[in-house]
Structure 1
């Protein structure tokens, strides 16, 4: 299913759903960031997705990261909350979702790189190369927010 992101676009369709979601900025001991190239829009993104009934938001972040990248992670902080009503995702099936996401900071604790049915590529990206990768503005903002502070000590 295809997806198009709109940010503060007066021609954007009106939202018809609001879904809690979580994403993660996973950094390894070299400071690289774990990214995936999405199937639905071809852009680089953080692992993440919608929360399921019976699940906590931190649990959602951990599950989505495992499903989309192959890595088990430990959450070590919160990057921020992203709930801009001017940011909507329009899907091919007619759903137009208002953004509602909490982004966590995480570190890998196991697993290995694995592509899922939601991605065409998964990789660790060095900070110097991230600015040159195609990303939607909201994902780039999360990465920038996560990298703006000191890197936590990974113990």
Structure 2
């Protein structure tokens, strides 16, 4: 399925759904952040995805990170809650989703990097290499907040 992100675009289609989703900011012992290259839009992103019925939201973060990267994590905190109504994601099946995403902070537990149907590449990326990658502004905001280690989670 094709995914198009509209960010502050006055011509974006109107949303017809909202889904609870997560992203996860995980660093390795060298301070690099865990990123995937998405198969649906080729952008680099934090691992994450939608919550399943019957699942605690922290379980979603652990499951999505494992599915997309091969890495097991422990959720250790919240980076922020991202609900910008001017950020909508349009899917080729007609769904237009308004953003609602909780970005968790996670700690690496175990596992080896592997790709999935949703990730064509999985890498630990140094902070000073991020500008060389194609990253959506909303994802970059989460990454920047993760590195900032704010005292309180971002709410916006």
What is the CA-CA distance between 1:63 and the residue it aligns to? 0.3
- Give the match for residue 6 of structure 1: 6
What is the CA-CA distance between 1:85 and the residue it aligns to? 0.8
- Give the match for residue 116 of structure 2: 116
Offset from partner CA, 1:35-86 (integer Å, 9 cap, x none): 0000000000000000000001111011000000000001111100001111
Offset from partner CA, 1:95-133 (integer Å, 9 cap, x none): 000000100011110111010000110010011101221
Structure 2 matches for 1:89-100, cutoff 5 A?
89-100=89-100
- Give the match for residue 138 of structure 1: 138
Count of aligned residue pairs for this structure pair:
150
Hey, what's the Cα distance between the residues in 1 that align with 2:125 and 2:89? 25
- Give the match for residue 129 of structure 2: 129
**3-state SS in 1 of match to 2:132:** coil
TM-score under structure 1 length normalisation = 0.95
- Give the match for residue 76 of structure 2: 76
Unaligned ranges ≥5, structure 1: 151-155
Hey, what's the Cα distance between the residues in 2 that align with 1:108 and 1:114? 15
What is the CA-CA distance between 1:149 and the residue it aligns to? 2.5
The answer to whether 1:85 aligns with 2:106 is no
Runs of 4+ in 1 over 4 A off after TM superposition: none
Structure 2 matches for 1:61-72, cutoff 5 A?
61-72=61-72
- Give the superposed CA RMSD: 0.9
- Give the match for residue 44 of structure 1: 44
Unaligned ranges ≥5, structure 2: 151-156
- Give the match for residue 101 of structure 2: 101
Hey, what's the Cα distance between the residues in 2 that align with 1:82 and 1:11? 21
Hey, what's the Cα distance between the residues in 2 that align with 1:16 and 1:61? 24
